[in-house]
Chain A
Amino acid sequence: MNVGRRAGRRRSSAASTGAILLAASALAAAEAAADGPILSGSVATDFRASLGGPIAGSDWPAAAGPEDRGDLIWNINQAEFRLRQRLGPHIRYEAHLRLNFDGMSLAGQSGDRALGQLDETGLTGPAAGETGDRWRSVDATLDDLFNGWTIDPFWVESDAAYVEVRDLFPGFDMVFGRQVVTWGASDRFRPTNMLNPDDLWDPLRFGITQANEMVRLLYNPTGNLILEAVVVPVFRPARLPRTAAATLADPSAAPPFLDVAPIRAALGPRETMDELGLLFDDTFAFVDVPDASLENVQIGARATWRSGDFDMSLSFYRGFDDFPRPAFSTSNVAGGLIDNYVLVRYPRITAFGFDLAGSIGFLDDAGFRVEGAVIYPEAMTMTVDMPMFLPDVDGRVLDGRPYFKATVGIDYTFTRDIFVLAMLVRGFADEAGPLSTRDYPTEVTIGDGDAARRIPLAPQGLADYVVAGADFKFLNGKLLLRVFGIAALDIERFCAVAYPLLQWNPWGAMELEAGGYVLFGEPESKFGQAAAGSSMAFLRSRVRF
């Protein structure tokens, strides 16, 4: 019996040793098959100076922005690191970090951007403009000078932190974690690209998305057919530009109702408030983000294939629009001042998309890209509650009817030094239909007779744009002149963006860029409104390794 036990222990011990050896050899084999880690990254600096507000007709230089023309308004310094490694034939990972340092954290500010003003009554809120007594402008507290977070604030972003499993079974891959999945065949303006939230924080990087935690499944059953399914468990909203509050939480702006009647109904009491001498003081904007629940899980599916010389795909998405819409506003009146409270939330959407890309033989093989999506949004209303006035005003901000966004583009390489592209875009990422901007009034009249006032309305609905750009390379590619522009196809609210850029890349690995981002348009137009921000000139450098 003992012998048997001992033999059993020996067998067990031998089995354990065998298992360990097997595991060790498996590990060794895995290690042998592993590629070395690849580290890459960049260091970048970006300075921007204001060119004033949007240039409206001959009103150059307009001063819609809070800053003066020539003021430095942006200095972001980035250090970026990316690590990738394949651990054998089936496993790969990627980790990415981007450190952002805000060089403007303690820069002296004026007007609205200052912390406040110090006068005989104490510290007041942000002033409307310079008082002339610059010593009174307050930018920080003394305590801030002890605080590293205030003196040198930074934040971390990550585009990737995922594990990829290849060929779980033949042709089937899974990717878990934080990642960016880009759908669509177009350049930058991709109506089918909905899985990752948009990143509009930096107006010069339009079309960029933020990474999101998701599970991605890819299956290549045969030939060129690729089936893809993505599950995004938790909704992440779009990152908005600093100027977004001008649209979403401006108490003096007309509510973004689709119909004129509730706009009038909401603006009427405001006129009365004005007449009573009440002034808007603070605005507090709140966001209702979809709960992390099973019913709010976002899903996407896509099939891509190649037929002849064309690439095409069909896609489906069910989730949320990553741009918020106002749902509720109320106000509190005290001491002749009105505090305004706004709640925004994200409408649920379902989208069916397609894209097609290829070359056009009769146009000397120019490339073409067509991409579109039919979007079914939930209907959404907004309630404007004004405690001094009854009743509340309700109005539609999304009418629930489906709408169509699309991009049609063509590109052509004339020589190795000249590349051009042109696109027609229906609907930017923040726009919703089904009506076109041309279907909405540009202003609404409040009051009668001599007291009548015309209130401008922010653009609503889907707009059409023409986007065109060209790259001209000189000095054998070391100098790049990029001319890029967007213009709204709307005579009544014409507006445009010009984005010229000169890039010098003398030694590879390093880029020096200078350029401008110039907005044209009336204050009620897409690029002329305050939410579009200021025109700016920039100078930036980047070294990559």
Chain B
Amino acid sequence: MLRPVLAGVTLAAAGLALAQTASIPDVARIVREAERNEFRFDDQTYRIRIRLIETGRVTREIDLHVLAKGSDKLLVRILAPGEVAGMAILQLGSSTTYVYNPEDRSVRLVAASARAQGFLGTDWGAAETSLAGISRGFQPSLIEATDDYYKVQLLRTTADFPYEKLVFKFDRRRNKASEVEYHLDGVLSKRLVRDEWRTQHGVEEPTRFRVINASVDRVTEAHISDWQINTGLEDRVFTKRSLMLGE
């Protein structure tokens, strides 16, 4: 009598375990999905107005023209303020960044140590532009799953990335990361929140990015406008050669 009961319990437990396994999402798949959906279009161009808000007051505004292609090509042209207007930043993948300086028309390779730093006094850094590259060199783990989102932790292993830990929230309805936490030296450094979603070519994309500094009352807010997608941007735009020509 006992044996059939034990067998039944064992079977039931196994079935429960199987059912649980089936409901636990594959974290690697989430990470891949989050990475892929960072760039859902072949290319895009837009303008960004970055506003630095300190203790509730706007203290700096920066205007950028951004061109992006795929997940690994990004060109940022600085339009304002005047003291840095004309500079351009070319990012190729996660580890190669060049800066064009119009004063002496030089092209400078940016040291990796500078990549974690904010952009022109803001908390907007090259690392915040996307989650591109997170499927390699990180150890992912799922730390929360709800009907609305998955929360995934990424611990840096071999990635050439300035932060040691990322935690991102993957919006299940929009199929895109909506929040990212950046941890450095064991503490939360800043938090990226994406909102003001707008439907573009049938998918929802955020048009506002807020980087909230975790240690001081400072928010860097970026608004996207003049957004154009799939305009056929040429690869040559994203080359050191173009930068050398001052384009």
- The finding on whether chains A and B are genuine partners in a shared complex, rather than unrelated, reads yes
- B109 in contact with A416 (CB, 8 Å): no
Interface residues in A466-525 (C-beta closer than 8 Å to B): 473, 476-478, 505, 508-511
- A359 in contact with B113 (CB, 8 Å): yes
Q: How far is the CA of A64 from the CA of B35 in the complex (A)?
A: 65
- B118 in contact with A226 (CB, 8 Å): no
Known contacts A182-B106, A366-B113, A509 near B83 by CB under 8 Å: yes
- B113 in contact with A476 (CB, 8 Å): no
Q: How far is the CA of A436 from the CA of B239 in the complex (A)?
A: 41
B46 to chain A, nearest CB (A): 16
Known contacts A209-B104, A476-B59, A545-B82, A218 near B244 by CB under 8 Å: yes
Set B218, B239, B246: member contacting A94, Cβ < 8 A: B246
Check if A378 is an interface residue, CB within 8 A of chain B.
Answer: no
Residue of A nearest to B60 (CB): A508
- Write out the residue numbers on chain A whose beta carbons fall within 8 Å of the beta carbon of B59: 476, 478
Residue of B nearest to A508 (CB): B81
- A359 in contact with B247 (CB, 8 Å): no
- Write out the residue numbers on chain A whose beta carbons fall within 8 Å of the beta carbon of B5: none
Interface residues in B73-90 (C-beta closer than 8 Å to A): 80-83, 85-86
Which of the 9-residue segments A107-115, A251-259, A407-415, A532-540 touches chain B?
A407-415
- Write out the residue numbers on chain A whose beta carbons fall within 8 Å of the beta carbon of B113: 359, 364-367, 412-413
Residue of B nearest to A170 (CB): B236
Residue of B nearest to A185 (CB): B109
- Write out the residue numbers on chain A whose beta carbons fall within 8 Å of the beta carbon of B111: 359, 365-368, 411-413
Residue of A nearest to B104 (CB): A182
Q: How far is the CA of A226 from the CA of B107 in the complex (A)?
A: 13
Check if A173 is an interface residue, CB within 8 A of chain B.
Answer: yes
- Write out the residue numbers on chain A whose beta carbons fall within 8 Å of the beta carbon of B16: none
Check if A304 is an interface residue, CB within 8 A of chain B.
Answer: yes
Known contacts A413-B111, A413-B117, A218 near B80 by CB under 8 Å: no
- Write out the residue numbers on chain A whose beta carbons fall within 8 Å of the beta carbon of B82: 40, 42, 508-510, 543-545
B104 to chain A, nearest CB (A): 6
B147 to chain A, nearest CB (A): 38
Q: How far is the CA of A510 from the CA of B83 in the complex (A)?
A: 7
Check if B241 is an interface residue, CB within 8 A of chain A.
Answer: yes
A28 to chain B, nearest CB (A): 19
Q: How far is the CA of A42 from the CA of B85 in the complex (A)?
A: 11
Residue of B nearest to A180 (CB): B105
Residue of B nearest to A412 (CB): B113
- A367 in contact with B110 (CB, 8 Å): yes
Residue of A nearest to B112 (CB): A365
Chain A residues bordering chain B, tally (CB within 8 A): 57
The CB with the most chain B CB atoms within 10 A, among A358, A413, A508, A543, is that of A508
Interface range for B: 35 or more
Known contacts A208-B104, A476-B218, A173 near B60 by CB under 8 Å: no
B242 to chain A, nearest CB (A): 8
- B105 in contact with A182 (CB, 8 Å): yes
Q: How far is the CA of A545 from the CA of B105 in the complex (A)?
A: 19
Check if A92 is an interface residue, CB within 8 A of chain B.
Answer: yes
Q: How far is the CA of A359 from the CA of B111 in the complex (A)?
A: 5
- Write out the residue numbers on chain A whose beta carbons fall within 8 Å of the beta carbon of B96: 306, 309
Set B54, B61, B105, B107: member contacting A508, Cβ < 8 A: B61
Set A82, A181, A207, A543: member contacting B105, Cβ < 8 A: A181
Check if B12 is an interface residue, CB within 8 A of chain A.
Answer: no
- Write out the residue numbers on chain A whose beta carbons fall within 8 Å of the beta carbon of B236: 166-167, 171, 220
Check if B165 is an interface residue, CB within 8 A of chain A.
Answer: no
Known contacts A411-B111, A509-B83, A173 near B241 by CB under 8 Å: yes
Check if A266 is an interface residue, CB within 8 A of chain B.
Answer: no
- B85 in contact with A544 (CB, 8 Å): yes
A165 to chain B, nearest CB (A): 11
Check if B207 is an interface residue, CB within 8 A of chain A.
Answer: no
B111 to chain A, nearest CB (A): 3
Residue of B nearest to A367 (CB): B111
- Write out the residue numbers on chain B whose beta carbons fall within 8 Å of the beta carbon of A366: 111, 113
Check if A357 is an interface residue, CB within 8 A of chain B.
Answer: yes
Check if A311 is an interface residue, CB within 8 A of chain B.
Answer: yes
Interface residues in B220-247 (C-beta closer than 8 Å to A): 234, 236, 239-241, 244-247
- B86 in contact with A415 (CB, 8 Å): no
Check if A175 is an interface residue, CB within 8 A of chain B.
Answer: yes
Set B80, B120, B241, B247: member contacting A477, Cβ < 8 A: B120
Known contacts A40-B85, A544-B82, A357 near B109 by CB under 8 Å: yes
Q: How far is the CA of A220 from the CA of B241 in the complex (A)?
A: 7
Known contacts A508-B61, A544-B83, A416 near B121 by CB under 8 Å: yes
- B121 in contact with A92 (CB, 8 Å): no
Interface residues in B13-52 (C-beta closer than 8 Å to A): 52
Check if A16 is an interface residue, CB within 8 A of chain B.
Answer: no
Interface residues in A301-324 (C-beta closer than 8 Å to B): 304, 306, 309, 311
A300 to chain B, nearest CB (A): 14
- Write out the residue numbers on chain A whose beta carbons fall within 8 Å of the beta carbon of B60: 476-478, 508
Check if B141 is an interface residue, CB within 8 A of chain A.
Answer: no
Known contacts A166-B236, A544-B82, A311 near B109 by CB under 8 Å: yes
Residue of A nearest to B54 (CB): A476
Q: How far is the CA of A357 from the CA of B120 in the complex (A)?
A: 23
- Write out the residue numbers on chain B whose beta carbons fall within 8 Å of the beta carbon of A171: 236, 241
- B105 in contact with A505 (CB, 8 Å): no
Interface residues in A203-260 (C-beta closer than 8 Å to B): 207-209, 218, 220, 224, 226, 228
Check if B139 is an interface residue, CB within 8 A of chain A.
Answer: no
B185 to chain A, nearest CB (A): 12
B230 to chain A, nearest CB (A): 17
A473 to chain B, nearest CB (A): 7
Check if A164 is an interface residue, CB within 8 A of chain B.
Answer: yes
- B114 in contact with A413 (CB, 8 Å): yes
- A220 in contact with B80 (CB, 8 Å): no
- Write out the residue numbers on chain B whose beta carbons fall within 8 Å of the beta carbon of A545: 82
Q: How far is the CA of A21 from the CA of B96 in the complex (A)?
A: 47
Interface residues in A166-180 (C-beta closer than 8 Å to B): 166-167, 171, 173, 175, 180
Q: How far is the CA of A508 from the CA of B52 in the complex (A)?
A: 12
**What are 10 A-B contacts defined by CB distance under 8 Å?**
A185-B109, A208-B103, A218-B241, A220-B236, A220-B241, A306-B240, A411-B114, A419-B114, A476-B54, A476-B218
Residues on B facing A (Cβ under 8 Å) = 52, 54, 59-62, 80-83, 85-86, 95-96, 103-114, 117-118, 120-121, 218, 234, 236, 239-241, 244-247
Given contact pairs A207-B104, A228-B244, a sample of 13 additional A-B residue pairs in the complex whose CB atoms are under 8 Å apart? A166-B236, A181-B105, A182-B106, A208-B103, A226-B244, A306-B96, A311-B109, A365-B111, A365-B113, A367-B111, A419-B114, A508-B82, A545-B82
